[in-house]
A and B are shown apart, each in its own frame.
Chain A
Amino acid sequence: MRYIGVRYIIALIIVLVTLWLVLSGYFNKPLLLWLGSASVIFTIILTIRMRIIDNESVPYFNLFRMVPYLVWLVVEIWKSTIIISATILRPDMVLTPRLIRVKTLPSSGFGRALFANSITLTPGTVSIDLDDDEVIVHTLLKEMTNRGDFAEMARRCAIAAGEKEPAF
């Protein structure tokens, strides 16, 4: 039998209970609370039996590392949205689209997914393809092809995903 991480089960229980409470909003009806806990337990038993509890199905993360990253990301999104909006609204707009390869990547799978999603979330850059050692990124303006910015974002993603010390 394969090893099942207890911390994944605990993380899944916390998430499911929070989700149920937020969506239903009942705190004072015993019957409904019992039904809720029964369904949470049933879900946990099912996931253990199906052996799909692992790093990928429960990508839990350290909130104290993730929240600062999300704040930084929203600020970056704000900055590039202003640039792209100004470009779109100019009557005589000039675009300089490029395809670039970004080789600086976080090493963990979760960090890479976070990095690719962050690139796509930032207006002006879309991750088109993700290989083992590079991301192909389409950028709308040549101001957004700066390697240093991508390395900075990759470093912050690696830290947010809980990696020790990034290689770059």
Chain B
Amino acid sequence: MIEWGVWLDLARHGLAGAMMLAGACFMLIGSIGVLRLPDFYARIHAAGITDTLATIFLLGGMIVESGLTQTSAKLALVGMLLFLTSPTATHAVANAAHKAGLKPRLGTIAPPHPRDREDG
């Protein structure tokens, strides 16, 4: 006799783990981007990845993990708040830089290959 509840729980924990792992990977990619990209405006884009998709995956994983409880509702509330505030903060920072006269580097930019950098 197979107990379906156990298998369902197993699938749920597996899905939650996979989603949180994906979120962590995107966080890492965003951090690498902040280090590698050449100028301020370009780095904002990399930080944007950690703002959006990584947060969606991490919070989604936590919601799946905690099931239909009050904790899930609170996590969803946190997600909504982040979804509203993080673009506003990003826009405020970018707008301040623009107003202060920081010129973005435009055109075609090829940052150095990691192999060729002297500081490794």
Report which A residues bind B (CB closer than 8 A). Answer: 19, 22-23, 25, 74, 77-78, 81, 84-85, 88-89, 91-99, 116-118, 120-129, 136, 138, 140
Residues in A whose Cβ lies below 8 Å from that of B90:
120, 126
Report which B residues bind A (CB closer than 8 A). Answer: 26, 29, 32-33, 36-38, 41-42, 44-46, 48-49, 51-53, 56, 70, 73-74, 77, 83-84, 86-88, 90-91, 94-95, 98-99, 104-111, 113-115
Nearest Cβ on chain B to A23's Cβ, whole angstroms: 7
Contact A95/B41 with A81-B49, A116-B91 known, Cβ cut-off 8 Å: no
CA distance A123 to B87 in the complex (A): 11
Contact A129 B51 (CB under 8 A): no
Q: How many A-B residue pairs have CB under 8 A?
A: 117
Interface centre among A85, A95, A98 (most CB of B within 10 A): A95
Contact B52 A77 (CB under 8 A): yes
Residues in A whose Cβ lies below 8 Å from that of B37:
88, 95
Contact A89 B41 (CB under 8 A): no
Choose from A19, A92, A99, A125 the contact partner of B110 (Cβ within 8 Å): A92
Instruction: Other than A97-B105, A117-B84, A140-B42, give 6 A-B pairs with Cβ distance below 8 A.
Output: A22-B74, A77-B52, A85-B29, A120-B90, A123-B49, A126-B45
Nearest Cβ on chain B to A74's Cβ, whole angstroms: 7
Nearest Cβ on chain A to B68's Cβ, whole angstroms: 13
Nearest Cβ on chain A to B39's Cβ, whole angstroms: 8
A-B CB proximity, top 6 nearest: A120-B87, A88-B33, A117-B87, A123-B48, A25-B70, A81-B53
Residues in B whose Cβ lies below 8 Å from that of A126:
41, 44-45, 48, 90-91, 94
Contact A95/B111 with A84-B45, A123-B45, A138-B94 known, Cβ cut-off 8 Å: yes
Nearest Cβ on chain B to A67's Cβ, whole angstroms: 12
Q: Which residue of B lies closest to A82 (CB)?
A: B53
CA distance A19 to B105 in the complex (A): 44
Residues in A whose Cβ lies below 8 Å from that of B108:
94-96
CA distance A120 to B32 in the complex (A): 20
Residues in B whose Cβ lies below 8 Å from that of A138:
41, 44, 94, 104
Residues in A whose Cβ lies below 8 Å from that of B32:
88-89
Residues in A whose Cβ lies below 8 Å from that of B26:
81, 85
Contact A121 B109 (CB under 8 A): no
CA distance A91 to B36 in the complex (A): 10
CA distance A22 to B70 in the complex (A): 7
Choose from A23, A97, A99 the contact partner of B74 (Cβ within 8 Å): A23
Contact A22 B104 (CB under 8 A): no
Residues in A whose Cβ lies below 8 Å from that of B88:
117
